[in-house]
Amino acid sequence: MGLLIGFLVAIAAIGALFYLLVIYREIPGAVEQRLGTLEELPENINKWRDDEESEEGKAAAAKGLRREKRIFFDEKGGSFGAGRFVRQVRYRNRATGAITSVEPDEVIKRKRVKKKT
């Protein structure tokens, strides 16, 4: 009897997975209707900006470096092809302008906003 219940639970899980993968990916607007739309992209997306206000930026300036950061939008990343934000940070030598080091990319989760009807 326990084996039969396990088999039925497995069939239900496969059906739910099929629904999520096929219906959400292939029907336009299905994800937005169920989960909401993704928040707007921030200003100055994909543009490097100097970071002189943060503690890390001040520490880099004391070492003769310039800390630059940007939020990069990776269109092909994220779940269901929705894209993802990645925070990127690099350090440049103030005298030569050469990039001396970079920090690991940090993925920033996009929030979903539900429309009020």
* CB-CB contact of 74 with 83 (8 Å): yes
Q: Report the relative pairing of strands 49-50 and 106-108 from DSSP bridges.
A: unpaired
Q: pLDDT by residue (tens digit) across 51-89?
A: 888 999 999 999 999 999 999 887 776 665 567 788 999
Predicted TM-score (pTM) of the model is 0.59
Strand partners, 49: 69
pLDDT at 77: 67
Q: What is the DSSP string of 7-44?
A: HHHHHHHHHHHHIIIIIHHHSTTHHHHHH-EEPPPPTT
* Confidence tier at 22 by pLDDT (50, 70, 90): confident
Q: What angle do CA 89, 46, 71 make, to 5 degrees?
A: 45
pLDDT at 91: 94
